[in-house]
């Protein structure tokens, strides 16, 4: 993960949502390479709790 990287001088403030999950499993049964949809499918029925936070980011100094 390289972090947020909106286009330089973009006219928008970008929103990034980060979510952590507490699972009733030691590990998920996933292939070495997987995508978000596969991770969510593997977590289905095993989530004990979750929490999310949304952050904003821009490289455009005029929007700060």
* 23 Cβ contact partners less than 8 Å away, ≥ 6 residues apart: 43, 46, 47, 48
How high is the pLDDT of residue 1? Answer: 66
pLDDT digits 0-9 by tens, 2-38: 777 777 778 889 899 999 999 999 999 999 999 999 9
Q: What is the reported pLDDT for 58?
A: 87
H helix runs in the chain, sequence order? 36-43
pTM of the predicted model, to two decimals?
A: 0.73
């Amino acid at each position: 993960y390289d972090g947020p990287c909106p286009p330089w001088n973009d006219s928008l403030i970008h929103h990034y949502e980060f979510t952590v999950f507490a699972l009733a499993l030691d590990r998920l049964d996933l292939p070495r390479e997987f995508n978000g949809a596969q991770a969510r499918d593997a977590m289905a029925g095993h989530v004990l709790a979750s929490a999310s936070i949304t952050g904003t980011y821009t490289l455009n100094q005029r929007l700060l």
